[in-house]
A and B are shown apart, each in its own frame.
Chain A
Amino acid sequence: MWQLFRKTPMWRPRPFRDRYDVVIIGGGVHGLATAYYLGRAGVRDVCVLEKSYLGSGASGRNTAIIRSNYRTPEGVSFYDESVKLYERLAADLGYNLLFSQQGHLTLAHTDSAINGLRVRAEVNQLMGVESRLIWPEEIQRLVPALDLSPRPRYPVLAALYHPPGGIIRHDAVVWAYARGADRMGIAIHPFTEAVGIGTSNGQVTSVLTSRGEIRAGVVVNATAGFCSTVAKMVGLHLPIVTHPLQAFVTEPLKPFLDKVIVSATLHVYVSQTDRGELVIGSEIDPYSSYSSRSTLPFLEATAAHTLELFPCLRRVRVLRQWAGICDMTPDYSPILGEVPGLKGFILDVGWGTYGFKAGPVAGKRIAELIATGRTPELIKPFSLTRFYDDTLVGEKAAAAVSH
């Protein structure tokens, strides 16, 4: 149905070799974007290992919200670059990604929430990102179906409006990066699991996989929810806890919502895809787990909260629910860069519930780091050392519910 006219494989099976310059563990958006930008930077002796099919992790399970209205200047500049990369990505990759910059609204139902949104609006504007506080009258114009009456227990008082925010077809991004990397000769090995990592004298030397050993001087950990298990292979303990995150879709409806709607107070967000389905999600499950099993309490609570916002959806039916796992950091910001004391071991993790939107920027900057040996300024604030010298980049207020 997509790309009717091109019938060559998106990525080809390539021989499994026993050495590469760079091994990327994880075939999600981060691993594949890194591979693609490495290729663009001329580093092409690269392979991507994925233990299952491409996009089988969070990259194939997320709700694909893309935005840059974060709270800290560091966060805003970082995600803003990603949004700009996404804007050009379909053209760069020659693939329809269905990126819909429809606009993103974060609702406030309490006065303290308004203050929190105002902080973001101010920081966003100062960093050149379109984002502003709007009030019920304008909200109603943008989202006619939203209940702005005093009926709900917590009526909507204001919203942070972020016009460049939107949604994308997540799988297409994953596949298109894979194709882009493949076209530059990079090897993509699905159904190949990394099971160990060899090091010697503070330097990474090899990756042991389910299909044999690979020698490599640079290994990228891009395994999101599983990143602690991969870090453990080199004895590294990450300040990360893995939690499930759930979502569901409804049956398709005629277009009725063309904004992404997020409410932190109600722990819910809603968007409508081009297929007409409503995609609805919430915050992480409160317990840590590697299980991607969905739960009934989540479905009930999230349905209830959705109807607080859109009572008109009462009869709309839920088609399917699912869960993915998320690598949560204490400050809701990622961990990027080479691990001090272990040359060649590079982290692209800590993506929590918000990492899909960062695939392009993280891939590009990690590739730059590998290609040049220098850590780009943009990702310096996100180094692992921030947990030792206590320079956290606090984004919880901007990322806990609105992924």
Chain B
Amino acid sequence: MDDQPLLGGALRTRLGRVDGPGGLAGLAGWEAARRLAAEVEGEPRIQRLQTATAFGVYEGLLLGVMQGRRLYRVRPRQLIVATGAFEHPLVFQGNDLPGVFLGTGLQRLITLDGVRPGRAAVVVTNADHGWAVAQDLLAVGVEVAAVAEARPELPPAAEALAAAGVKCFAGATIHDARGRRHVEGALLVRLDAGGDPVAGSERLIACDLIAVSTTPEPAGALLAQADGRLGYDPALDAVVPQALASSVHAAGAVTGLSDLGFALLGGRLAGLEAASALGLGGGEASRMATLRAEVEAHRARLRRGLRVRQLTSVPSVGRKRFVCLCEDVTEKDLADAVREGFDHLETLKRYTTVTMGPCQGKMCHLPAIGVTARLTGRGMAETGTTTARPPVQPVPLGVLAGPHHEPVRRTPLHARHAALGATWMDMGAWKRPLLYTSVEAEVRAVREAVGVIDVSTLGKLEVVGREAAAFLEWIHPGRVADLAVGRIRYRVMCDDAGIILDDGTTARLGEDRFFVTTGTGSLEAVGQWLEWWLAGTGRCVHVADVTSAYAAVNLAGPKCREVLARLTDLDLSPGAFPYMAVREALVGGVPALLLRIGFVGELGYEIHAPAEYGAWLWDLLLDAGREHVIRPFGVEAQRVLRLEKLHLIPGHDTDALSNPLEADMAWAVKLDKPDFIGRRLLEAARARGLRQRLVGFELLDGVVPGEGDAVVADGRPIGRVTSSKWSPTLGRGIGMAWIPPELAQEGVEIRIRSAGRLTRGRVVVRPFYDPDGARLKS
């Protein structure tokens, strides 16, 4: 993968002839690049990703790659990084003037864009590459007014330029750029052996272009992110990879040496090593060893030939000596900061924002280190480097986000609700009907005749296996194992701190088979909880999430038995199918599971049938109920109905600190049974007594408070309302609230702060409606 539209890297931007091997000698750089690219393009087994930026390496060699608006996640088994090198700007007065360029930038303009970048150039360099830049400028008709070479001696490449009449200065560099809105000249100075300017050596050269071409700085950020170690190498005057993680290889200028022959050889070795690590050949050990030796020899040869003079800036003063061009941080800013004690590169960076701009330090990393090293009197190596955080290249949020898909879960009856004009609400990922007509009408239908609600969103788990009963017994604070086949029990589940996680029902379908329902929002948590406690135990228990396999409705109301009787042969008489029993039967010809339970406080049947037949069953039920004016009811009516029965909803009426003893669910906790999850804390909670209690209340004044409103005493919050509704059945506002235990007695008056005003309520501890459950059991 490569971030440019064409393969070939930096070579693609070079006009000069290469002296490389492999039949490339004598070609212009860009021609050689084309030749090499063609070899890759001609190989069908190489997949190419062009204009694609690998912007980060993450844990486990995960690569983030951006190509246009597309994001790729790539997890290679072997990674070869050949990201090349950057030149970095020099720090001199006026280095932000238009007309100051990096040498490589000019080469891109010349070769890729066909632009003649100026009329007369001064080239400032401390590396051989600067001389190639000068050549390229000459080649397109730019006059090269001078080349200032910081190294004490001119390199061999200078000869040709000198012959062409170019003024070449050794041991010299730029002091400042002159010009008002654009470069008009460059003031050059000679450097003494210590790198200081020699007084009186200034020489002003007229030009409209200043080309800065420095020792290449490897683009090693990806290597660092891939757990490689980077450090300053004085021989190269660059931060280079010093150790690579396994499965990671580097080749080319990113290793710190820019040389075509070396890049080709190193690339070959990296490829073969990656291939052999993958067991895909790569040559016998001896051949690899030879190649490795060849690479090392080449490296050593190159290093011997290196003539480096570290150069970031000429010591001087001036207000426009920019170190970080993105963030407008000058050398003076750094000097001030160091004097204020920010002499560590990491604090200096944070204080001045050097390296924190859009280029993330690609341009100013080395100058910042150089200036800091000089200011603090520490060496470059000791000054260190900053962390190379991803992304290496800025990535648009839209690319990272991709087309955003938040799934919507619809029940098998969704279309029916839509046809009835339901008002929707979100419950987790589910869409549920909140209301069809009016809460009053829906509540009255259930209390007086018959209603039906879609409860397909309930979590449904089948727990099967020889040890299923024992497992569920241990998971729950209540009893499960002694449940008879064909019977149901309400269940409350606690975490290991005795906090309520969820509630629902457990139906025993067979000795080894349970049908467990959970709240709509808690299926994932409960499923994971069970798996968590099963993992690695080897218990013979299997948990299957069958939620979407079933459509489920709750048919409730005094007339519901008559309605259901029309659709099934099952004996529905209270004796044959009592409260808290479960039966399997055909309903309207559909195999169904019927649970006789009653969350809303009426005679009721929860009917689970295969999802495919959900809509069919729904139609049959509405049809069968027509005579009794059956009504579908929504979540809002259900919440009112259950509140009239003081049935709490975990997560709504409870929070991360609620235990069942305080939530008035002591019936669900059997401390006399053997160990279970949460036992220790529930025992402790019982021993220390209740600190708060969840109770019902009815309102003495008219206003129904908001859910979440505070219960107050003497202007301080002492509790909170969790549920509160207008009850059409009772003709007054009712609710549930957490209050201090001493107030939790029938009839005690409490004050609720609602919208800034106080409302009076009366504590009620028994269900408002049918407190003995006579209607449920009828």
Task: Let me know if B340 and A119 touch, CB within 8 A.
Answer: no
* Contact indicator A154/B426 (Cβ below 8 Å): yes
Whether B340 and A318, one on each chain, are in contact in the complex, defined by CB atoms closer than 8 angstroms, is no
Contact at A7–B340, with CB atoms within 8 Å?
yes
Query: Taking the complex as formed, is A185 at the interface, i.e. its CB lies under 8 A from any CB of chain B?
Result: no
Query: Knowing A294-B390, A319-B360 touch, does A9 contact B396 (C-beta < 8 A)?
Result: no
Could you give, for residues 302-313 of chain A, a 1 whenever the CB lies within 8 Å of some chain B CB and a 0 otherwise?
A: 011011100001
Quick check: which of A32-40, A342-350, A372-380, A389-397 contacts chain B, the rest being far away? A389-397
Interface residue B406 (Cβ < 8 Å from any Cβ of A):
yes
Taken together as a complex, chains A and B put the C-alpha atoms of A308 and B405 apart, in Å, by 10
Partner of B395, one of A6, A171, A307, A318: A318
In angstroms, Cα B326 to Cα A275, docked, is: 13
Contact between B360 and A11 (Cβ–Cβ < 8 Å)? no
Q: Which residues of B contact A56 (CB under 8 A)?
A: 346
- The answer to whether the Cβ of A210 comes within 8 Å of any Cβ in the partner chain is no
Q: Quick check: B340 and A314 within 8 Å, CB to CB?
A: no
Q: A294 contacts which of B344, B389, B688 (Cβ < 8 Å)? A: B389
Task: Answer yes or no: B255 CB below 8 A from chain A CBs.
Answer: no
CB <8 Å contact, A55 and B347 = yes
Q: Tell me the minimal C-beta distance from B527 to chain A in angstroms.
A: 16
A289 to B720, CA, bound (A): 36
| Docked-complex contact A122 and B408, CB < 8 angstroms | no
Partner of B56, one of A296, A319, A397: A296
Is residue B712 within 8 Å, beta carbon to beta carbon, of the partner chain? Answer: yes
Q: How far is the CB of A378 from chain B (nearest CB, A)?
A: 16
Complex CA gap A23/B17 in Å reads 66
In the complex, the chain A residue whose C-beta lies closest to that of B328 is: A1
Given the interface pairs A300-B401, A304-B401, A321-B389, the reply to whether A112 lies near B396 with Cβ below 8 Å is: no
Given contacts A122-B753, A123-B717, contact A10 B340 (CB under 8 A): yes
Are B351 and A307 in contact, with the CB atoms below 8 A? no
Who on chain A is nearest to B73 by CB? A296
Kindly provide the distance from the CB of B577 to the nearest chain A CB, expressed in whole angstroms: 35
Query: Is A300 a contact partner of B347 (Cβ separation < 8 A)?
Result: no
Assuming the A-B contacts A4-B336, A111-B425, A296-B64, are A307 and B657 also in contact, with contact meaning beta carbons closer than 8 angstroms in the complex? no
Question: A126 contacts B753, CB within 8 Å?
Answer: yes
* B340 CB contacts on chain A under 8 angstroms: 3, 6-10
Closest approach, in angstroms, between the C-beta of B438 and any C-beta of chain A? 18
B228 proximal to A (CB < 8 A) = no
Which residue of chain B lies nearest to A294 when distances are taken between CB atoms in the complex? Answer: B390
Interchain CB contact under 8 A, A126 and B712: yes
A118–B707 CB distance below 8 A? yes
Residues of B within 8 A of A254 (CB): none
For A304, the chain B residues whose CB sits under 8 A away are 400-402, 404
Question: Within 8 Å of chain A (Cβ to Cβ): is B59?
Answer: yes
What 1/0 mask marks residues of chain B from 393 to 430 whose CB sits below 8 Å from any chain A CB? Answer: 01111101110101010000000000000000111000
Whether, in the assembled complex, A299 has its beta carbon less than 8 Å from a beta carbon of chain B, the answer is: yes
A53-B344 contact, Cβ under 8 Å, with A60-B350, A304-B401: yes
Q: Are B391 and A250 in contact (CB under 8 A)?
A: no
Task: State whether B398 touches A153 (Cβ < 8 A).
Answer: no
Q: Fill in one digit per residue for B645-664: 1 if any A CB lies within 8 Å of its CB, else 0.
A: 00000011001110000000
Contact B389 A119 (CB under 8 A): no
Min CB gap A207→B, angstroms: 23
Asked whether A307 and B688 contact (CB < 8 A) given A119-B708, A322-B389, the answer is no
A304 to B407, CA, bound (A): 14
Is the beta-carbon distance between B404 and A308 smaller than 8 angstroms?
Answer: yes
Q: Can you list 8 A-B pairs, Cβ within 8 angstroms, ordered by A?
A: A12-B341, A73-B716, A126-B717, A317-B358, A317-B396, A320-B391, A390-B685, A394-B655
A81 within 8 A of B: no
Q: For B360, what are the chain A residues with a Cβ–Cβ distance below 8 Å?
A: 319-320
- Beyond A119-B710, A293-B58, A315-B398, whether A321 also contacts B350 by CB under 8 A is no
- Nearest to A265 among chain B residues (CB) is B426
Q: Is the CB of A171 within 8 A of B350?
A: yes
Instruction: Take A118-B706, A396-B656 as given contacts and tell me if A303 and B347 are in contact as well, using a CB distance cutoff of 8 Å.
Output: no
Once bound together, how far apart are the Cα atoms of A331 and B351, in whole Å?
35
- The answer, yes or no, to whether B333 is at the interface (CB within 8 Å) is yes
Docked CA distance A396–B499 (Å): 14
Give the complex CA separation of A4 and B707 in angstroms. Answer: 53
Q: Is A54 an interface residue (CB 8 A)?
A: yes
